[in-house]
Structure 1
Amino acid sequence: MIKCIITDIDQTLTDAGMKLTPRTLEAVGKARAQGIQIVLCSGRPFPGMRGYLEALGLNQRACCSVGFNGGVLYENGTGTVLQATFFEPETLQEIVAELRRMNVNFHLESPISIVTGLNPIGHYTVRDSFITNMPLEVAKFEALLKRSDICKIMIADKPETLDSLVLPGKLKTKAKFVRSRPYYLEVVPLNVHKGLGVEAVAARYQLKKAEILGVGDGLNDLELLEASGMKVAMENGADALKQIADIIAPPHDQDGFARLLEALLRKDGQNLNGIK
């Protein structure tokens, strides 16, 4: 029996305008009324999830969410960081030095802010700050590289720039690189992935793997699904995700998440293929 649904946000839970539809809000409410936990698991930080948590009624101390692609577990009532994985300063310095040499736009992220030493500030960095509701700090690189609270490095540039980007092999032994969007290449510590977040949620609520349903659309959701007992990929999702999924849900812009929940509540987690 499914007791917890752990879901990605963008292009999974939301529509094409990154909004929660009335049907989704209603379906989540009904699922929660039947005792099913809903947990958001995103590359976003807590400020970028707060609006969704409030709309869904999940902004309570008993609820938690996963940010930074599994790197940070938050308590939803206050945004308190329950656990987090940060870059070692030496690793951060090495990666940043290489990115500066490659002349790509990037910024750093802590659990509460976006920080950059680039001037002018990149367009996609400003966009990320706006989408995630994170304050944007500007400082000299010398100061930034001494910080011990950096969860993620975001390479944020034109899609064609990222398409042609060739990363030195040594960097791939220092961190994990995930292309979450055409204009975003996320860099997190090697041991960080959304599956780590699923494990943290399972431990917090004493859940078995079979009691967890994971939903996602992007390549950074692979580990989320792998750590879940029931794996659901959105129809608009990456092929690699759909290949490992137990269920393919309708597209995110056709109330796919809501339709998944409706089917789950009707069938109690059994034989969900062919969702209407």
Structure 2
Amino acid sequence: MYKLVALDMDGTLLNSEKALTSRVREAIKSAKEQGIKVVLASGRPFEGMLPTLKELDLDGADDYVLTYNASLILKVACKSVVSSAILTGQDAIDLNKLADKLGVNILAYSMTRGLITPKQNEYTDYEAKLNGIEYSEFDFNMLDADEDILKVMMIDQEQTLSKAVEQLPKSLQEKYSMARSTPFFYEFMNKNSNKGMGMAALTAHLGLTAEQIICVGDAANDLEMIKYAGLGVAMENGSDEVKANADYITASNDQDGVAHVFEKYVLN
């Protein structure tokens, strides 16, 4: 019997209008009433997830959330840290130099400074607006080497970013957990930070097993948790790689795909 369902947000839980449909909302409500724990797992910062957590009544004392691609796992109500795996200021400095060399923009989430970028650009504007937060322009070379950095993202138009990703040194794979979360975002996290590792940490914390978990997602940063879960589910709108590794492919995020999962595997 499944006891926990983990859901990505963008492209999965939310439709193309970045909204919850009534069918999805009701499916989650019914699952909670049956004692199923529902957890959101997103690349977004906590602030960008909180409105949806509140809308789904997932902001209580016993609710958990995976933020920044599981770089932080928090108890929602008190924001206490269950698990963390983050970067340093030196990582941001080094990746900024590489971004300059490759000709792409960059941003980072600092634990103390919030969302920062070396220069204003449309993709940082998008990230800030999406999550309802502010950002500041900041010279990454001025970061403290040991400053806590949650994640770094290379950001640019799809073709430019794709070309840059192709030129990334192979050595980065040994140093960072990396994933493309949208056509214009490429994310760098701590080597021990991805949604699969995050789900493993939360599963252990809750005394559950992987076989009791359903994970649903659409993009490359969802791949590890889909492979980890007892039932890994890909959205019809998901990437080919995610669908190839899933146990089940549900309908798209514009066709209540998440509700289908609950109705097929949890509510019945």
TM-score range, shorter chain: over 0.9
CA distance in 1, matches of 2:10, 2:233: 15
Give the partner amino acid of 1:246. Answer: D
Give the partner amino acid of 1:212. Answer: I
1:169 shift after superposition: 3.0
Q: Is the 8 A contact 2:7 2:215 kept in 1?
A: yes
1:242 is paired with a residue of what secondary structure? helix
The residue number in structure 1 matching 2:196 is: 195
CA distance in 1, matches of 2:2, 2:217: 17
The residue number in structure 1 matching 2:178 is: 177
Change (3 A) 1:266 1:88: closer
1:142 shift after superposition: 3.0
Please say if 1:244 is aligned against 2:234.
no
The residue number in structure 2 matching 1:272 is: none
| TM alignment of 1:1-276, pairs within 5 A | 1-111=1-111, 113-118=114-119, 121-146=120-145, 148-165=147-164, 166-267=167-268
Task: Considering fraction of residues, name the structure with more strand.
Answer: 2
Q: Is the 8 A contact 1:93 1:145 kept in 2?
A: no
Q: Is the 8 A contact 1:117 1:144 kept in 2?
A: no
Percent identical residues: 32
Change (3 A) 1:92 1:266: closer
Question: What TM-score does the superposition give when structure 2 sets the normalisation length?
Answer: 0.93
CA distance in 1, matches of 2:14, 2:261: 13
1:200 shift after superposition: 1.9
Give the partner amino acid of 1:128. Answer: E
1:147 shift after superposition: 5.2
Q: Which moved more, 1:206-215 or 1:85-94?
A: 85-94
Change (3 A) 1:262 1:70: same
2:266 is paired with a residue of what secondary structure? helix
1:192 shift after superposition: 1.4
Give the partner amino acid of 2:150. Answer: C
1:105 shift after superposition: 0.6
Query: Once the two structures are superposed, what CA deviation does each residue of 1:21-74 show, in whole Å capped at 9, x if it has no partner?
Result: 111111100000000000000111101100110000001121010011121101
CA distance in 1, matches of 2:145, 2:42: 26
2:178 is paired with a residue of what secondary structure? strand
CA distance in 1, matches of 2:176, 2:266: 40
Number of matched residues? 265
Q: Is the 8 A contact 1:91 1:174 kept in 2?
A: no
Give the partner amino acid of 2:64. Answer: C
Change (3 A) 1:93 1:139: closer
1:145 shift after superposition: 4.5
Q: Which moved more, 1:32-41 or 1:177-186?
A: 177-186
CA distance in 1, matches of 2:240, 2:48: 27
Q: Is the 8 A contact 1:86 1:148 kept in 2?
A: no
Change (3 A) 1:21 1:253: same
Q: Is the 8 A contact 2:89 2:143 kept in 1?
A: no
CA distance in 2, matches of 1:180, 1:240: 13
2:43 is paired with a residue of what secondary structure? coil
1:215 shift after superposition: 0.7
**What's the C-alpha RMSD, in Å, of the aligned pairs?**
1.7
CA distance in 2, matches of 1:260, 1:122: 38
Moved over 4 A (4+): none
Question: What TM-score does the superposition give when structure 1 sets the normalisation length?
Answer: 0.90
Q: Is the 8 A contact 2:23 2:256 kept in 1?
A: yes
